[in-house]
Each structure stands twice: as C-alpha cells, then as structure tokens.
Amino acid sequence: MRLLDEQAIEHIALGASLLGTGGGGDPHVGKLMALNAIRKHGPVKLVSPSELPDDALIVPSAMMGAPIVIIEKIPNGQEFITAFQGLEGILNKKVYATIPIEAGGVNSMIPIAVAAQLGIPLVDADGMGRAFPELQMVTYHLDGIPASPMVIVDEKGNRVILNTITNNWAEEIARVCTVTMGASVMISLYSMTGRQVKDSGISGIMTFSELIGKAITNARKTNTDPLEDLLDITKGYKLFQGKITDVSRNISGGFNRGLCAISGLDEYTEQSMEIAFQNENLIASKDGTVVASVPDLICIIDVDTLIPVTTETLKFGRRVVVLGIPCVSKWRTPKGIETVGPRYFGYDIDYTPIEKLAAKQEG
C-alpha cells in the first residue's frame, strides 16, 4: 500500500496514455479530474491485489464512448456516486475499492478521482494492460466474470441499469445507450470479489504506467531521447518514424474510427506507414506489410514533445515515432485472440506476435 500524490498522478497519466494505444481518453482532461479530486479529498491509497480481502466488493469505474467527446462534455463529478450507489443497492453490499478497467489518459485517471471522492482504495491492476474499445474486451470476460449488473450514468443525472445475458450483449446495449446519452457516459460494471481480481486482473498496471511516465518526464527535463528507456521498460520495438500526412476520422456507433498515414523520415525515408484505429490503434502496416496488430500495442509518440498521441489528436504535419509493445499473455490465448484479434475487428489477417513480425523485418 502507498499513497498517490500529485507527482505520481502526473507520471501515471503520461505512462497510461502511452499504454492506451491512442485510446482511453484525453490525458489532460483525465489528469485534471484526478488532481482536483485529491486536492479536495486528499491522497488516494493504492493497494496491490494481494492486499484485498477475498470477499471484498471491487468495482471498476470508467468512461465509455468516443474519447474526443469528453473534451467538450466533461463529467460533473456526481456520476460515480450515483453509479456506485446504484450497484450497492442492487448487490446489497458496500464497495470496498475501485479499479481501472483499462489503461488510458482518462480511464486510468477516473478511478483515482472516484477513489478520492468516495474515500476508498484504488487497486493497482486493470483488465486489459492497455486500452480496447469494447466492454467484453477484458481479462475478466476471458475468465467468465459477468459485466452485469452494469450502471450507466450521464452528466444530466440519467441512470440506466443493465442486466444482460452475455457480456457481448452488455456492449451492444450499452453502446446504444451511450450514443443516446451524448456519446460519452460514466460506467460501473464487472463487479468482482477480491479473489477474482487476484485471479483475473493484470497486476501492477498503475505502477507500470508510473514507471513509463517517469522515463518520459526525465527525458523531457534532460532534453534526451527516451526511446531506449521506453523500449527497455516495455520490451517494445521501434516500428517507424515520420510525419503525419493524412488523417481520416469519423465518429460512428460511439467510436472514433479512421486511418492515419505517415511518411517516413530519417532511416525511414521513402517508406510509409498506415495505422487503422477504432478509438485505439488496431493495425500498423509499413509499405503495405503488417508490422503490428491487436492485441499487441501500437503506440504513437510526438517527436517534439515526447507526449503520447491519442487518436483524437492525430493531425497533419505532426512528427511522430511509432512503437510496438507485446501484449500480456492472456490475450494470446485462443479465447483472447477470438475476443480482440484482427479478425474480430474485420481485418482478414491472423494475429502474429510482434516479436515474430519484428524478426521478419530485421531479417
């Protein structure tokens, strides 16, 4: 157990934004929400899964919808009090702690704000080890934990309670509600015991995010390149470097969808990369050849600011570095690939681990 102060939050926001693979929401908005909460209510207690009582009620808290919308439709702070009260009434049990559902600029920060506001601990774990766009894309789903009962709350005070027959149905119905409620809502779902968090959660994600954030921050302070440190920390690969030359983007079905084209610079001159995204970066192709795909992480960093680039902030002329990072092993199981592999998103390719793709590129 330790307390998260403002410096820790700064580092976590930066590191989680990288792990968000372009999704997970705007890191600046999320950071402001978390900092405001701890300034008002005091530091947040971060606990490891091993410290949780087996029978404790642990509830994830997150934003659902198109990340670009939250920039203009900021939560009012009451949503999660309403959501957690709704779940406590249904389950007839007090929430012991909250936990991030994924890594990302907003969705790693919202649980900090919720923990501070409600005076409960925050668990150092999540259900993805990165960010994914749909509700069933969590390790909890892989282990048979139901998303229901699920509570959806908007900034107006509307509250929807779902009890669905499968987690995929939870995604389908919640997505319709989200679009109707303004394409951005706050949610609580996958209520779990402490024992289930220990078995199914990806432990240490907040600490890992903080470590990444520290490396980027130190590089910015010393005006050095953080790339080697980041690749060492994440066991990742440099996939490309260049300038964004085109971005096509639209919001449909509650998602940011689109393509980003990058023209190579330096050692990648005369080469090109295309990245397809649905909130998060899904497929990276260099000169028409796939070099990384979900569930591995495809991360974009601004060369000048060293800040991870989210899909809603991709813009023409920005100079970027593209990194590929291996996903956690749970996503490489048959059910993991079925749930978040390229074919689920409509791409006619089989998943190949990034380590093998990188070896082919080097060969």
Total count of domains within the chain: 2
Q: Do 358 and 237 share a structural domain?
A: yes
Q: Do 272 and 169 share a structural domain?
A: no
Q: What is the pTM assigned to this prediction? A: 0.93
CATH code of the domain covering residue 270? 2.40.390.10
* Rounded Cα distance, 143 and 294, in Å: 20
Residue identified by tokens 């908007």 is 154
Q: Do 148 and 47 share a structural domain?
A: yes
For residue 113, what are its two tokens? 């704000």
CATH code of the domain covering residue 161? 3.40.1610.10
Q: Do 174 and 100 share a structural domain?
A: yes
Within-domain flag for 23? yes
72-101 pLDDT, tens digit each = 666 777 888 888 888 999 999 999 999 999
Reading across the β-sheet that carries 280-286, which strands appear in turn?
289-293, 280-286, 272-278, 255-264, 237-252, 319-325, 297-302
Helix, strand, coil % over all residues of the chain, rounded to 5: 35, 25, 35
Within-domain flag for 47? yes
Decide if 212 contacts 219 (C-beta within 8 A): no
Within-domain flag for 217? no
172, 205, 238 - which closes a domain:
205
Q: Do 291 and 153 share a structural domain?
A: no
Q: Do 293 and 191 share a structural domain?
A: no
pLDDT in tens, the chain (363 residues): 899 999 999 999 999 999 999 987 777 888 888 999 999 999 999 999 999 999 999 999 998 986 666 666 667 778 888 888 889 999 999 999 999 999 987 899 999 999 999 999 999 999 999 999 899 999 999 999 999 999 999 988 899 999 999 999 999 999 999 989 988 899 999 999 999 999 999 999 999 999 999 999 998 888 888 899 999 999 999 999 999 999 998 876 667 789 999 999 999 999 999 999 988 999 999 999 999 999 999 999 999 888 899 888 899 999 999 999 999 999 999 999 999 999 999 999 999 999 999 988 876
Within-domain flag for 221? no
Q: Do 238 and 194 share a structural domain?
A: no
Query: What range defines the domain where residue 292 resides?
Result: 227-362
205, 240, 264 - which closes a domain:
205
Within-domain flag for 319? yes
What's the count of helices (H) and strands (E) in the chain, helices before strands? 11, 18
Q: Do 127 and 91 share a structural domain?
A: yes
Q: Do 331 and 234 share a structural domain?
A: yes
